[in-house]
A and B are shown apart, each in its own frame.
Chain A
Amino acid sequence: MAARILIAEDHPASMELMRYLLEANGYSTLTAGNGEVAVAVARRDRPDLIVCDLQMPNLNGYEVLEALKLDANLQCVPVIAVTAFSMMGDREKVLTAGFDGYFSKPIEPETFITQMELFLPPALRGRRPEGE
């Protein structure tokens, strides 16, 4: 059973890209257009992994992370920051804040899925489109 992945992203094109890539690789997705919704959806549906933009309305990525890590039910869910903040020092800042991974935008569609899957146990990894 492939993982269910929550995408928290306020930019519609970026959201559609990640959603398309994930679903094309056999994952089911949940979506949230801002931080507050992301936390609510995570609490309701407990996804297996969360990819999270940093600059979002209501709650930003850091605030979302804080809420998730304080929730006993969600603190084990890996959270990956996917952000266009990719100047020198941004990666360190993100990882120090407690995100499990850091992907900078623009993402590379060829490698995005395999890198993300490093954060999932093998049983939850998706099927390749080629494998269909």
Chain B
Amino acid sequence: MSESPDHGWIADTPDALILVDAVGVVLEWSPGAERMFGYSRAEAVGSGLDQLVVIAERADEQRGFIAETLAAGWGTFESLRRRKDGTLIYVDISGKRMGDGSAADSQVLFSEKDVTQLKVRRDSKSLEARFGDLLESTPDGIVIANSTGHILVTNSQAERLFGYAPGELRARPVEDLLPERFRASHKGHRSHYFSQPRTRAMGAGLELFGLRKDGSEFPVEISLSPLMSEETPVVISAVRDVSERKCFEQALQEKNLELENANRAKDRFLASMSHELRTPLNAVIGFSGTLLMKLPGELNADQTHQLEIIRGSARHLLALINDLLHLAKIEAGKVELHPELVDCNALIEEVAATLRPQAVAKDVALELDVPVEPVVFRTDRRAVSQIVINLTNNAIKFTERGSVRMGLSAGDFGGQRRLEFSVQDTGPGIREDELATLFEPFVQGQASRIKGVEGTGLGLHLSRTLAGLLGGTLTCRSTYGEGCVFTLVVTEI
């Protein structure tokens, strides 16, 4: 394997003997050098030391070794070298000038000794002496390693975290603390780190795992900070076991997913319920309609009356379904507001135009009290319109004589622009004890019970819920026997 001349015991020396020329090209490479650096003699001879064992940042230093040895005839140095497999080792170097000393024939013989373990022990002791107590006082596990990737110092928190006895981690490769699958890339990160050391905060970067002595893994967060210790660069790693937090995070994530699924199931249920309830109503409303249209034939007065009751009840049921679904959607947070600039005069006039036929049919006056200047207000047209329709519709239903007056005003209150819609009627009014529960679902006042006025029992509740969604309020004032006034107050959204 080796082509070097057999010098017997010289071949067995543990140190590396390397003969180079003045620019560092290898002329001889001993069996000891083969063992220490992993390059065979055949690979090494003819190549520059720079291409073999000198790490890039130390090329100048290496040229200095040669120059100094050539000048003085000898020299001793220490340095960091890279083996063929990428691992770093500390070496003590003795250099001797060879040949006749002429410039043309300058050669240098280096004898290099691997002092990595020696240095680890020495640095470890010195760091231990300087920082030992300090490290014990931090809650995180602390691992200090040098640039060859050897652990110099750990605190007892780190030993407990990784399951090692006190002192057991000293001088071990730091990769022993990593699961196998991360080791190769970690060596790369590590040498990169020492060429550009910088502080890296806890939790920055990838999901990391630690490996305990018993082979089990646990999720960790690590912060790194570089430190110069007696001219030896080291890195301080603070290690925190985040199993518990990861556990919480996962539980939270699962819970969120569960809620999302439950929400979706509820949506599906509401959509199906809506669909399934409407389908039979289609036949009820449809065929009572065809009968009332007298498509199959003439009807007598009783038949017409009873069919009208069927159709009215079916429509009532449909209104209930619509209101209930709307409420369910608001309560599930599924109703999105669509703010836009709304011409409120026009909105009121539209509602009045829609409902005027009902008022006219009962001989009730429907009056508008709106400013001449257009009131333009940023709100959700659909929601406001629905509330105003509901209030006006109620007012017309309950008023037998007199009028329903729809009012609109806008103004500034404490620097905030407010809009006030009011609907005033001359109906029977609401008893004081009923005012408190008026907006509760399925509560209907005395008047509706006496007069048999039909409603879903959800209209006012839905209106107040919508008002709340708009960030506004809906209130009622009434003098029993004289009528009442409902007022919607909203701010811009």
Contacts and interface: CB of A to CB of B under 8 A. Distances in A.
B282 A85 contact: no
Contacts of A123: none
Contacts of B325: 87
A95 interface: no
Interface string A102-129: 0011111110000000000000000001
B346 interface: no
Interface string B307-345: 000000010001000000100010000010000000000
B289 A108 contact: yes
B287 A17 contact: yes
A54 B148 CA distance: 71
Contacts of A76: none
A15 to B, nearest CB: 10
A46 B344 CA distance: 49
Interface stretch (B55-63, B96-104, B233-241, B272-280): B272-280
Contacts of A60: none
A1 interface: no
- Among the interface residues B270, B284, B286, B314, which one has the most CB atoms of the partner chain A within 10 A? B286
Contacts of A129: 295
A21 interface: yes
B285 interface: yes
A104 B281 CA distance: 12
A21 to B, nearest CB: 7
Contact of A24 (B278, B280, B283, B295): B295
Given A20-B295, A110-B293, A87 B274 contact: yes
Given A20-B295, A87-B325, A109 B286 contact: yes
Contacts of B270: 87
Contacts of B284: 106
B290 A17 contact: yes
Interface in A29-47: none
B278 to A, nearest CB: 4
A109 B293 contact: yes
Given A17-B290, A20-B295, A24-B290, A84 B275 contact: yes
Contacts of A14: 279, 282-283, 286
B407 to A, nearest CB: 30
A37 B282 CA distance: 23
Contacts of A16: 283
A70 interface: no
A17 B329 CA distance: 31
Nearest to B274: A87
- Among the interface residues A88, A104, A106, A107, which one has the most CB atoms of the partner chain B within 10 A? A106
| Interface of B (DSSP majority class) | helix
A106 B285 contact: yes
Contacts of A17: 282-283, 286-287, 290
B71 interface: no
B274 A86 contact: yes
B271 interface: yes
Interface string A1-38: 00000000001011011001100100000000000000
A83 to B, nearest CB: 8
B278 A105 contact: yes
B289 A88 contact: no
A105 B279 contact: yes
B329 A13 contact: no
A98 B281 CA distance: 27
Contacts of B329: 87-88
A16 B284 CA distance: 12
Nearest to B270: A87
B283 A13 contact: yes
Contacts of B285: 106-109
Given A84-B274, A85-B271, A87-B271, A20 B279 contact: no
A16 B281 CA distance: 14
A21 B329 CA distance: 34
Given A24-B290, A106-B285, A106-B286, A11 B275 contact: no
Interface of A: 11, 13-14, 16-17, 20-21, 24, 55, 84-88, 104-110, 129
23 contacts: A11-B279, A11-B282, A13-B280, A14-B286, A17-B282, A17-B286, A20-B290, A84-B274, A84-B275, A85-B274, A87-B274, A105-B278, A105-B279, A105-B282, A106-B278, A106-B284, A106-B285, A106-B318, A107-B282, A107-B286, A109-B289, A109-B293, A110-B293
Given A14-B283, A87-B325, A106-B314, 9 more contacts: A24-B295, A85-B271, A87-B270, A88-B335, A105-B279, A106-B281, A106-B286, A109-B293, A110-B293
